[in-house]
Structure 1
Amino acid sequence: MASTLIDAQDKSIEDFVGDKRTHIVDGHLQNNNKYVAERAESLVGRAKTRYGEMTSGRLSTAQLGRWKAEFELRAGLRFSVSEECPACGKLGLLEAEDVENMRIETSGYSEDDYTVMGLADAAADYFVCGHCQLVLDGYELLVAAGIEPVFEVEDDDFIEQLSGEPDYGNE
């Protein structure tokens, strides 16, 4: 995440820590990237095992008692979309709270017959699968697990925010 933030500011690590400490920070970032990749691999591997045990009927009564439905695993973030689970291949839920690149798009055939949509790109940071109990909590884990963390969302609030005029609903 630090690398992303530094790149977004068109800066380098050296700009923040100086020449003498750049190699130290680079080492920490490489260790963090390795940790995130190993953690994602471990979480996905464990979820594959759980899914195999569940589908073959080998889960104990205690394990079945701890099994949660997808809605219990959710983070409850504002935006969500179905996404293929990297562990079991079933559909899980990708969630996001923040959006960027808000825009208004119109489509239609004429001036009198058109649709206006408020669109934005949601930056996901949570994935959950009720089929295998996989939970990936964080942008870096999503990327390491092979999940595309950005998805498009539609919301009328984007139109209001971009137009600067509140919708009073009294049409």
Structure 2
Amino acid sequence: MTSSEYDDEALWLKAKLFLNHAMDDEPRAFDERALWASLALELLAKAALSRVLPLLIASPTEDGGNLLVASGLVEGEGRFTSVKAHTLYSRCQKAFRPFSERDAQQITWARNPYLHGGCPTFTPIPPDAWWPRFWAQAAILVNAQDKSLDELVGSDRLSIVEKHLAQNKKNIEHRFEMLIERARQRLAQFRAGSLPARLAREWANPADLSLGWDYRTDQACPACGSVGVLEGADAESREVKYDELDEHYYDVLLELTISAEHFSCETCRLVLDTRELIEAAELPATFVTEGDFRDYEDDDYGND
């Protein structure tokens, strides 16, 4: 039996408690409510990962005692040590699409100056803009546990959460439209020779808009129709295929399915840097490419 510190149901219940504090309008100010919410988000991430495997949230110690406790192999009263928030969110991004490590980390980063420094507020972002961003990530972690938002916050508060989620979707749509129109506008000005001098100099000496990730594919730009680059860092799955050359020889191919996370176009300088924006653009959520077999040999043969 897994220790309660690593138990997904115990983590879920604690997240519910913290969110109950976070949703109390009175007597709590927004900064305190946002603090409770940020703590709840981290607990939801732990619960989602622990539900799959408690070891995913345990940080290794010298003697490995906490890993043994997390695995349920031994019972103990050892010190509870879990992985850091950025590790949790990185794993959640890979496991639970379209969870955003960056958006979740920005919520957590605000805690340090608020708790440990002289910063008088948790975040400069207005509450009406902050809560939709928070619930967009929290809802994904709830779904990853095969639970509902109703179970998390209760039916009397469900409408509040749904309103924030609807607002977040609208914000994403507005941002996408803004980026598309601005890219088209800049391209039209460039072609007409009417760009302001500073922008013209920047256009003449463009920075590389791509992230340089290992996995990429060409994709038509939703703003100008030119060929852009869709990139990803993580393989959702991989499949070995065999291409028979003749009866004695064959090639071994590794086919990777990559999660699309970044799009850029050198023609109109459009950049879509989140999965939500890529989805709004109706670009592919994944793409298939070939991988190097040698990169994955240790996965199968690293037992010596």
- The TM-score by the shorter chain falls in which range? 0.7 to 0.9
| TM-fit CA distance, 1:160 | 2.0
Say whether residues 1:95 and 2:227 are aligned partners: no
Structure 1: tracts of 5 or more residues without a match:
167-171
CA RMSD, 1 decimal: 2.2
Say whether residues 1:21 and 2:157 are aligned partners: yes
- Tell me if the contact between 2:245 and 2:251 (Cα under 8 Å) persists in the aligned partners: no
**Partner of residue 272, structure 2:** 136
Q: Percent of aligned pairs with the same residue?
A: 34
Q: Structure 2: how far apart are the matches of 1:57 and 1:112?
A: 61
- SS of the aligned residue for 1:72 comes to coil
Q: How does 1:35-46 map to 2 (within 5 A)?
A: 35-46=171-182
Instruction: Determine which structure has the larger helix proportion and give its number.
Output: 2
**Partner of residue 115, structure 1:** 251
More contact order relative to length (CA 8 Å, sep ≥ 6): 1
**Partner of residue 81, structure 1:** 217
| TM-fit CA distance, 1:18 | 3.2
Q: Structure 1: how far apart are the matches of 2:292 and 2:249?
A: 18
Residue in structure 1 matching 2:260, options 124, 133, 136: 124
CA 1:115–1:159 in 2, change beyond 3 Å: closer, same or farther? farther
- SS of the aligned residue for 1:26 comes to helix
**Partner of residue 196, structure 2:** 60
**Partner of residue 160, structure 1:** 297
Q: Read off the aligned partner of 1:160 and give its amino acid letter.
A: E
Name the stretch that deviates more: 102-111 or 77-86.
102-111
- SS of the aligned residue for 2:171 comes to helix
Count of paired positions? 164
| TM-fit CA distance, 1:99 | 1.4
Describe the superposition over 1:128-165 as per-residue Cα deviations: whole angstroms up to 9, x where unpaired.
11111111110000111221121112112465255x12
Q: Read off the aligned partner of 1:147 and give its amino acid letter.
A: L
TM score, norm. by length of structure 2: 0.49
CA 1:118–1:16 in 2, change beyond 3 Å: closer, same or farther? farther
Residue in structure 2 matching 1:51, options 187, 201, 211: 187
Q: Read off the aligned partner of 2:261 and give its amino acid letter.
A: D
- Tell me if the contact between 1:41 and 1:145 (Cα under 8 Å) persists in the aligned partners: no
Instruction: Determine which structure has the larger strand proportion and give its number.
Output: 1
